[in-house]
Structure 1
Amino acid sequence: MAILLAGAAADFDPFRFFIGRTRGEAQLKVILRARVPVVVRGTGHVDGDTLVLDQVVQEGGKPPRTRQWRLRHITAGRYEGTLSDARGLVRGEVDGARLHLAFTTDKGFKVQQWLTLAPDGRSAANILEARKLGIKVATLQERITKVDP
């Protein structure tokens, strides 16, 4: 039993994972369109009780865009915050090595995002689904890696 537990990932701690620099490489699939590559470069730091994550997103051939996440730890396993290109609150919940985020974009898409921490604690798989009027209109599959030690 100890051998199995040694390989298991720790609980996902967004503060621990996103402080410093991260890099995400993804594929975005929007309905009726071809897949496009997405690269996300992040820099995270703590401001008081809040994780601040600044990101530069390069989607296919589009110009880079910036966005900012701000997350606070609310209670055991629960987070709330904002995202610069979302309306209303971002809600987060940790279940073991998995972080679930939910929010509505400023264009009205309902987003569900699941990040699963790898056992090494240095990378995470990110699956994102966006829905409009209940219909899944986009998916993103990403690998996020910590750049800083």
Structure 2
Amino acid sequence: MLRRCGTVLAALAPALIAVACVPSGHMTRYQAPVPTFDPIAFFAGPTQGHGSLAVAFSGSKPTLVEGHGVVEVDGSLRLEQTVRVGDKAATRRTWHLYRVAAGRYSGTLSDAKGPVSGDGTGNQLHLSFAMRGGLQAEQFLYLQPGGQVARNRMVVRKLGVPVASLDETIFRRPS
């Protein structure tokens, strides 16, 4: 019995080590009461994000996300993004984000499976949504002083275990 447990632990060790290399927390050191993060205002117009995507068993890859947001007549945001990860071909995704109450948001994301929900407090915006393949994503975005830069930490989990994380800095660009 003990020998079988040791064999199982030895077989699982590489997987446990790889998962441990995926950062799972959010960046609370950036949390502050001001400036207030209004994602509809921040993402209106051109933005660009530079970051690093860490995936279990795959290591880290640089990311580049170029976006252009439009505030619709109803006050919602439509954000079109082009995403490049490492040397893979670029992909496109679309966000629609609606303010449902003070500090509360709802919406859709083209690569999500189901709705996006969000809440904001001070300079922090927390978004969560399900993805295909039984994955759950959480994003914590922190608006930096001056209102032109946001820090983003996204963690993707499978069965509650972190399998990927993104650390990104997003810049508002001049129109």
Same fold (TM over 0.5): yes
The alpha carbon displacement at 1:106 in A equals 2.5
Matches within 5 A, 1:57-96: 57-96=83-122
Distance 1:69 1:101 in 2: 12
Residue 13 of structure 1: aligned partner: 38
Aligned residues: 143
Deviation string, structure 1 residues 60-102 (Cα, Å, up to 9, x no partner): 0110000000000001100000000001110010010000000
Radius of gyration: which is bigger?
A: 2
Matched, 1:129 2:155: yes
Distance 1:8 1:106 in 2: 34
Give the letter aligned to residue 79 of structure 1: Y
Distance 1:64 1:18 in 2: 20
Distance 2:144 2:123 in 1: 8
The alpha carbon displacement at 1:108 in A equals 2.4
Structure richer in strand, relative to its length: 1
Distance 1:130 1:136 in 2: 6
Larger CA deviation: 102-111 vs 35-44: 102-111
Alignment equivalent of 1:107, drawn from 133, 137, 144? 133
Judge conservation of contact 2:33–2:121 (CA < 8 Å) in 1. no
- Percent identity of the aligned residues? 42
Distance 2:174 2:110 in 1: 24
Residue 146 of structure 2: aligned partner: 120
Q: Secondary structure at the match of 1:62?
A: coil
* TM-score, with structure 2 as normaliser: 0.79
Is there any run of 5+ residues in structure 2 with no aligned partner, and where?
Answer: 1-31
The alpha carbon displacement at 1:148 in A equals 1.8
Distance 2:131 2:86 in 1: 20
The alpha carbon displacement at 1:32 in A equals 1.6
* TM-score, with structure 1 as normaliser: 0.92
Judge conservation of contact 1:9–1:120 (CA < 8 Å) in 2. no
Distance 2:101 2:95 in 1: 19
Give the letter aligned to residue 86 of structure 1: A
Runs of 4+ in 1 over 4 A off after TM superposition: none
Give the letter aligned to residue 138 of structure 1: A
